[in-house]
Each structure stands twice: as C-alpha cells, then as structure tokens.
Amino acid sequence: MNAEEELQRTIAALVRPDRGILAADESLPTIGKRFAAVGVDNTEENRRAYRALMFTTEGIGEYLNGVILFEETLDQTADDGTPLPVVLARQGVVPGVKVDKGKGPLPGAPGDQVTYGLDGLAERLAQYREKGARFAKWREVYPVSERNPTPLGIEANAEMLARYAAVCQAEGFVPIVEPEVLIDGDHSLERCAEVSEAVLHAVFHALHRHRVVLEYLILKPSMIVPGRDHPRKATPEEVAEATVRVLRRTVPAAVPSVNFLSGGQGPEEATANLNAMNAGFPGQPWALSFSFARAIQEPVMVAWAGRARNVEAARRAFRHRLRMNAAARRGEYRPGLEGGG
Ligand code: 13P
C-alpha cells in the first residue's frame, strides 16, 4: 500500500458514523496526576492494567473508531499477553499515537507555549507503524489572557501543527491536528471565540502552505466556552452556537471530521455541549464528534481506583460514557439517559 492508500483507508475507519475517538495518551506526568486523584501509584503496571481494562471492554467498537495511545502503551499487553494495539484492532478500533514530546515557553512570546518533537518524527512514525499505530496526534496549547496568545504565538504554533501534519501524511499517517485554546482564566465566551477564530484561521493557512491534504486529517479543537473562573457558565445551546459559528468561518468543508477535546469540562457537560451542536446545527460539512480524554475517563478511574475487584464496575462506567457520547454524536442525548447505568 502506498501512503495515499493508507491515508484513505485510515480516514475512512476514523470517520465511521455514530462513533468517536478516545484519547488515552496521557504522558507520564499527566497520568500521574490523574492517578493521584484516585489514590493510585503511577507505576508501569498500573498504567498497563488500567488501559488494558478499558481496551478489553466488550463492545467498545460500537462507540469508538480510534484510540490515541501514549508511546509506552504500544509495547504493553493485556492480561492474556495480547499486545494492546492488537486488542484494539480486534475490537474494530484503530490504534493511534501521540507523537508530540510536550511543551515549553516560546521565546519572544511571553506567556505563550510551543510543543516539541519534530526531530526524527518520520523515523519514529516508521517504528510506531510496526507496532500497529495508523494515526497520530499533536497538541499545541494557547493560554488566554489580555495579551495571549500573541500574534507570534499564533503563527509559531500553526507552523508546528502544519509541519507535523505534513510529515505524518508523507508517512501514511492520518494527523489529528489539535490546537487547544485553554479553559484556564476568567475570560468570556466571546474572548474564547475571538482567540479560537484567529487560531484556527492561522492553522488552516499554515496547513495550506505546507500542502497538507485536508481530506486526510482530523481537527481536534476546544469548544468555545467561557474561562473556568468566569462568573457565568454558558448553556449547551450557547456553546454550540458559538462553536459552530467559529468552525464555519475557519474550517474548510474538505475536512471530514471535527473531534473535540474536553479540556477540563465535566463528563456530562462535554456530552451535553456536543449534543447541542448535533441537535441544533445538523448538516454541517464536517462530522462533529468527540476525542475526549478526561470527560470519558474520569468516572472510569474513580470506579476502578486501582483495585482488581472494581474492574467490572469500571468497565460499566466506561461503556456508559461511550454510549452517552455516541448519542450526543447523533444529537440524541438527554441528561435523563445518565441514570441508565
Ligand atoms: P481532554 O479531553 O482531557 O482535554 O484531553 C484530550 C486530549 O487528548 C488532550 O491532548
């Protein structure tokens, strides 16, 4: 198969209707924070056991097209010795991998950040392919303040996303392009919309400059929401209206799917917001789906708490959250469904 055929095959699998993507690609420090919140030690065995319990949950292929893995997970196995990427493939779920290497300050742009990891990326992708990965993810973050993101921050981050996406496509990997406008701060929904519009505009301009084929990528943006410390929370209808408006202004129709991150929203909140988009604004040029990490995994981790005897309860929590988000993908979610266990 050449790179183009691979891209066609992978994107078709990642955009199947009624499903989304699970982000399970927390880096070592991030999974450490999530584990600490439920009293679990951040050991390699705990990370393996936890991710194995999710991936071996029966029937997840009904709700998921893909799972984004952390590099380490590509080499780990389920309790019966099956490699975890093989476990996913047997469920009909495409394994992907986070390929960025974290972030740090962007010199010249005080307050802004930039992500590392382009060096040797093509060679790393070849290794990840051997281990079963077929798509990739790269995240740039945009802190919001009166000054941030700066024009330089917006340009530099767009350039990184586009260079990453171009390398991926050359290697036959579908890139998930993730520009995350952070929820931290007390800014308004309107300020988030203004920043997000500038960010997405720059990202697609850079993708165009780098000859990235829009038909073979997935956009993973943040929803348009007020900052966490803003005095008033927005309703799902307000979030949906603002988010769809910004996307329509900036995301070309050639992009097949927009899979949102949850970015610190609660599980039911993220589901309700996604639902409001699909229920209130059907018929958009792109699918509107999910690629949540925290908003899917939080209840799973709480139910598990590192104990083997809780594995079945954790699987029930996982399946439930997936079912709710698949309903939101169709615009058929109601908070009343949450009681359904
Ligand atoms: P959240 O859904 O927790 O924001 O995570 C998505 C993700 O992959 C961040 O890179």
Mean pLDDT over residues 6-15, rounded?
98
Indicate whether 100 belongs to any domain.
Answer: yes
Indicate whether 229 belongs to any domain.
Answer: yes
Q: Is the CB of residue 84 less than 8 Å from the CB of residue 54?
A: no
pLDDT at 1: 87
pLDDT in tens, 34-93: 999 999 999 999 999 999 999 999 999 999 999 999 999 999 999 999 999 999 999 999
Report the CATH number that the domain containing residue 254 is assigned in CATH. Answer: 3.20.20.70
Res. 340 pLDDT band, cuts 50 70 90: low
Which uninterrupted H or E stretch holds 314? helix 311-329
Find the catalytic residue in 178, 180, 241, 269: 178
Mean pLDDT over residues 21-31, rounded?
98
The secondary structure of the chain in percent helix, strand, coil, rounded to multiples of 5, reads: 50, 15, 35
What is the rounded CA–CA span in Å between residue 89 and residue 44?
A: 22
The residue whose CB lies within 8 Å of the most ligand 1 atoms, and thus the one to mutate among 115, 292, 297, 325, is 292
Indicate whether 341 belongs to any domain.
Answer: no
pLDDT at 341 over 70: no
What is the rounded CA–CA span in Å between residue 180 and residue 93?
A: 25
Distances in whole angstroms, Cα of residue 66 to Cα of each of 2, 63, 216, 274, 337:
21, 9, 15, 18, 24
Å from CA of 141 to ligand 1 middle: 11
Identify whether 131 is a catalytic site residue: no
* Contacts for 315-323: CB closer than 8 Å, 24+ residues apart: 315/53, 315/54, 315/57, 315/58, 316/341, 318/53, 318/54, 318/57, 318/60, 319/57, 319/59, 319/60, 319/63, 321/267, 321/271, 321/295, 321/296, 322/22, 322/60, 322/62, 322/63, 322/64, 322/296, 323/63
For the chain, the domain total comes to 1
Q: Is the pTM of this model over 0.75?
A: yes
Indicate whether 67 belongs to any domain.
Answer: yes
Q: Is the CB of residue 326 less than 8 Å from the CB of residue 62?
A: yes
One-letter amino acid at 192 equals C
Indicate whether 340 belongs to any domain.
Answer: no
Q: Which domain holds residue 152?
A: 3-334
Å from CA of 297 to ligand 1 middle: 10
Q: Is the CB of residue 249 less than 8 Å from the CB of residue 221?
A: no
What is the rounded CA–CA span in Å between residue 117 and residue 138?
A: 9
pLDDT in tens, 108-136: 999 999 999 999 999 999 999 999 999 99
Indicate whether 85 belongs to any domain.
Answer: yes
| Beta bridge pairs of residue 287 | 257
Indicate whether 339 belongs to any domain.
Answer: no
Indicate whether 163 belongs to any domain.
Answer: yes
Residues with CB under 6 A from ligand 1: 23, 139, 178, 261-263, 292-295
Tokens of 336: 């009343």
Å from CA of 263 to ligand 1 middle: 6
pLDDT in tens, 82-101: 999 999 999 999 999 999 99
DSSP letters of 177-213?
EEEEE---SS--HHHHHHHHHHHHHHHHHHHHHTT--
Q: Where are the alpha helices (DSSP H) in 44-177?
A: 44-55, 84-90, 121-130, 151-170
